[in-house]
Amino acid sequence: MERRKIGHNVAILDTTLREGEQTPGVTFTIEEKLEIVRRLDEIGVNMIEAGDPNVSKDVKDAVRRIAKEGLKAEVLAHCRALIPDVENAASCEVDRVAIFLGTSRSHLQYKLRKDEDKAIELVSKAVERAKSQGLKVRFTAEDASRTSYGFLLRICKKAEEAGADRISIPDTVGVMTPEAVRTLFSNLHQELNAELDTHCHNDLGMATANTLAGLEGGATMAHVTINGLGERSGIAPLSEVAVALKVIYGIETVKLEQIPALSLLCERLSGIVPAPNTPIIGENAFTHKAGIHVAGVLANPATYEAFPPDLIGRQRDIVIDKYTGVHAVRSRLERIGVILSESQISSIVQAIKERPTMTRFRDADLIELAERLTGKNLKAEVPTNVEAILRVKCESNVYTTAIARRLKALKKITRVYEVTGNYDIEVAITADSTADLNETLERIREIEGVEATETQLVLKKFEV
């Protein structure tokens, strides 16, 4: 398979705090923002877009605090192409200011009510002012993908002349295709001296592909957010861009094994829970189900995996249900120390297929089937799970269903009920050990909006 190259100098800009906080329903406190940027710095992103200080006092305070954190990453403030906005951004003592102005016909006509020359004047003046304050400058031609190429080039050249050493070419409404992005970037790359940034929205599900295409076209900075947060359907996620750069192009950027933890932190702080089938970080990303797939994966994982899960510190899993074959059942039983004959395993597979509505046979269910078949008490021989029922009381100002959804996303939780009475939610937990149970309880108590919990350990369980 022939593939175009991406230079090894590509870098990552994270804009979870700016673009990500524009996600409907999301705001971060200053403390939360600090927690996120420290982790982003640790994982190794090169730039952090901390916010637009003109939005509100709290955004400005956060930008200022982040600029003072002494991060390895370059810290940016986003702002409009207006002198007071630029000065406000400069007063936060950031490394760089990202000055944006809508350049497409509809932005100029309906949003800014300015003609092209006036737009160029605004940008030149704003860039010059930022430079005179000793800041590095990026210019963003907002809605670049719907801007006429002639005007886009003209305004970018003027921004460059005024002192911008980076230019962002966003696909603001996510309407590009990879081929078009690649062409646009290689054309601009030939004409401009400034380094180029990609910023791809995901309205048509193209964000990651377009980002990679922009890098193939000569861009050197990819804008991402944790979990793909952002306006509407968000932008390219850090996880997808960083892992694709490694797996497809052999390029190292951030510490990949830290991605799942960062993703969970963002899930907790934003309340936005990625769907199970989300690439890389989703619950199902390394879970195999159909018998044929599982047999292949057990023989050699590469048969059905784009890359090994341990690249990002995760593990593969197998789901046992009516699609299951003998390989999966044998492997799962062996894992818990139960060795059966071929014909016994076939009988268990048969029994599983006779219960087509059961979505997941857990270890305990398999042991039970094996016990029925062999007449032996296997539970005594294999390590059993610790089960608990937990009641959760939510703070009065929070939406119970939002907490219930977050609980649902936690690995060891097998059932979630919203209930009446003194507590609002009841969950069933199946943990591998007491330590594992404790860890799950800790994570539940950390969820914002959880006021109190009560845990009951299950002593005996009766299947009906």
Positions marked active-site: 293
- Asked if 80 and 107 count as a contact pair (C-beta separation under 8 A), the reply is no
Shortest distance (Å) from residue 106 CB to ligand HCA: 13
Q: Is 228 in the site for ligand HCA (CB under 6 A)?
A: no
Q: How many angstroms separate the CA atoms of 244 and 253, rounded? A: 10
Q: How far apart are CA 237 and CA 227, in angstroms?
A: 5
* Token output for 70: 């002494």
Its sign, for the CA torsion 242, 248, 250, 256, is positive
Contact between 140 and ligand HCA (CB under 6 A)? yes
Bridge partner list, 318? 288
Is residue 21 part of the contact set for ligand HCA (CB under 6 A)? no
Stretch that binds ligand HCA, among 167-175, 210-218, 242-250, 307-315 (CB under 6 A): 167-175
Smaller CB separation from Cu ion, 199 or 412? 199
Contact between 53 and ligand HCA by CB under 6 A: the answer reads no
| Partners of 389 in beta bridges | 428, 456
Stretch that binds Cu ion, among 12-20, 85-93, 212-220, 256-264 (CB under 5 A): 12-20
The residues in 229-248 that bind ligand HCA, with binding defined as CB under 6 A, are: 231
Contacts of 250 (CB under 8 A, 6+ apart): none
DSSP 8-class letter at 65: H
* Minimum separation from the CB atom of position 36 to Cu ion (A): 18
Q: What is the Cα–Cα distance from 94 to 91, expressed in whole angstroms?
A: 8
CB of 266 to ligand HCA, least distance (A): 18
DSSP conformation class of 417: E
- Single residue of 103, 168, 210, 278 touching ligand HCA by CB under 6 A: 168
Q: Is 198 in the site for ligand HCA (CB under 6 A)?
A: no
Contacts of Cu ion in 13-72 (CB under 5 A): 19
If one asks whether residue 80 binds ligand HCA (CB under 6 A), the answer comes out as no
3-state helix, strand, coil in the chain (%, to 5): 45, 20, 40
Select from 108-116, 194-202, 269-277, 384-392 the region that touches ligand HCA (CB under 6 A): 194-202
Given Cu ion, ligand HCA, none, residue 98, with its beta carbon under 5 to 8 Å by kind, binds: ligand HCA
| Between 19 and 85, CB nearer to ligand HCA | 19
140 binds, among Cu ion, ligand HCA, none (CB under 5 to 8 A by kind): ligand HCA
> Mapping DSSP to helix (H, G, I), strand (E, B) and coil, where does residue 357 land?
coil
At closest approach, how far in Å is the CB of 353 from ligand HCA? 50
What is the helix (H) or strand (E) element at residue 392, kind and residue range?
Answer: strand 386-394
Residues 22-51 that bind ligand HCA (CB under 6 A): 22
Tokens of 387: 């089960």
Calpha distance 386→367 (Å, rounded): 15
By three-state DSSP, how is residue 137 classified?
Answer: strand
Exposed e or buried b for every residue in 416-427, given b needs 16+ CB within 10 A? beeeeeebbbbb
**Taking CB under 6 A as the rule, does residue 100 contact ligand HCA?**
yes
User: Rule CB under 6 A: is residue 208 a binding residue for ligand HCA?
Assistant: no
Amino acid at 354: E
Contacts to ligand HCA by CB under 6 A: 19, 22, 98, 100, 140, 142, 168, 170, 172, 197, 199, 201, 223, 231
Contacts to Cu ion by CB under 5 A: 19
